[in-house]
Every structure is written in structure tokens, then in C-alpha cells.
Structure 1
């Protein structure tokens, strides 16, 4: 029989690489204009940990990580700069998308009786036979 090794992700594996969101921020957090330099650094340093905790890939190992998870899930207010940066990031990527004026449907016009807007020009006599 073969032994089946379960792939357990450790905290060190998760936090080894800086966090990046190529889909929503292809040029990085610092160049987006959404985050300050400090917030960008915090997201790069702690974002992978937050994402792994929220996705359930790792379980909190200490009180700090438990607090991160509770804050990320909205169970308590963010207390640390890392938590505030993560919640700001989540608010940015989950905001409603704005529609393009070129791709949206034309706004419905009000039903207005056009006859009321046009003045009666029956008193003008135009003689075209001259």
C-alpha cells in the first residue's frame, strides 16, 4: 500500500513570498494610488498570512493570528495597522464596479407629450408660390 501524504501548509510556507494581487493590482499596491506606502508594505508583508487565515489554509497559532482572523471576518474592529490595511484592501477589491458610459444602456427618457413642447405655428403663413 502507498502512503498518502497530506499536504499541510505551514505558516512559514505562506509568509515566505510577499503578498501580491496580480488580478486587481497588476502593478503592485504602491503604484495603485489606493494605498499609502506604509499600507502597501504592510499588505506585502502580512497579506499572505491574512489570506491563508481567511481561506482556512492555516489555523491561527497564537492570539495575534486569532485577532487577525476575527478582524478580517468582521467579528471585531481592526486594532493594528496590518488589520486596517487588510480591511481597506478587501473594501477596494469588493467595491461595486462602475459601468462604462459607452457600454451602458441609454437612460430611459420620461414620457413627455411632445405636442405640448412645440408651439403652435399655425399663425405663420408661409407662401412658397412667390
Structure 2
């Protein structure tokens, strides 16, 4: 597979059909500007973070520093990328009813007698 250049990655629209099947703009998680920036720069940032593209410009180094948590985001694309990462890596909500059905084992009829471990000594004075 041929490696893509920075310009090709910027022109490629970034999409995540697994987590955002209807797109970033329709998810309700991102503002209009954030969804535009994520769609435009997401492929570039993802390639930089995954190591598929070596950083060439200061902007690339800034994207990497923000993605690794070494620097605060300065522009809308960096803020959108961090927000996207928080959304896809958040813990999944579990059901309040649990995941597995609780079963009662009928073979557990180990009843404890009242006197089994108790020794009582009464002394008369």
C-alpha cells in the first residue's frame, strides 16, 4: 500500500462509522465547527498518532503533543480531536440490572444446625 502524503490526508474526509454511523454533525456531541474540523483534519491526526505519517511541520508536532497530552489544545481541530477521543474511549454504561442472570443452585441445601459449633458450659456457684 502506498503511503499517503500530508496533503492527501487533509483532503480525505475523516469518518468513524462504528462510533458515529450518522456522522459527527448529526451525533449531537460536536458543534458544527468541531465536526467540520474533525472531518477535515481527523485523517491527518489519526495518521500522525498511529505513526503512519512522520511529522513534517510545526502544526504536525502540535497535533501529536496535544494528542499525547503534553500540550493544551490551541485550535478547533485539536480541541475536536481530544473531544472525539474522550467520547470513543469513555466507559460503556452498564445496565442497572446487571449483565448475567442470577441462578439459584438447588444443590446447596447445606443447612446449619443451631447447635453444631456451640458448646455451652454452665457452672453453678
Shared topology, TM-score over 0.5?
yes
1:56 is matched with 51
1:45 is the counterpart of 2:46: no
2:30 is matched with 35
Partner of residue 17 from structure 2, selected from 22, 31, 41: 22
Partner SS state of residue 41, structure 1: helix
Shift of 1:102: 5.4
1:114 is matched with none
Partner SS state of residue 91, structure 1: helix
> Comparing 64-73 with 95-104, which one deviates more in the overlay?
95-104
Shift of 1:106: 7.3
Shift of 1:10: 1.4
Calculate the TM-score normalised by the size of structure 2.
0.74
1:72 is the counterpart of 2:72: no
2:105 is matched with none
- Structure 1, unmatched stretches of 5+, are 1-5, 108-130
Partner SS state of residue 83, structure 1: helix
Shift of 1:21: 0.4
Shift of 1:99: 1.3
* CA RMSD after TM alignment: 1.9
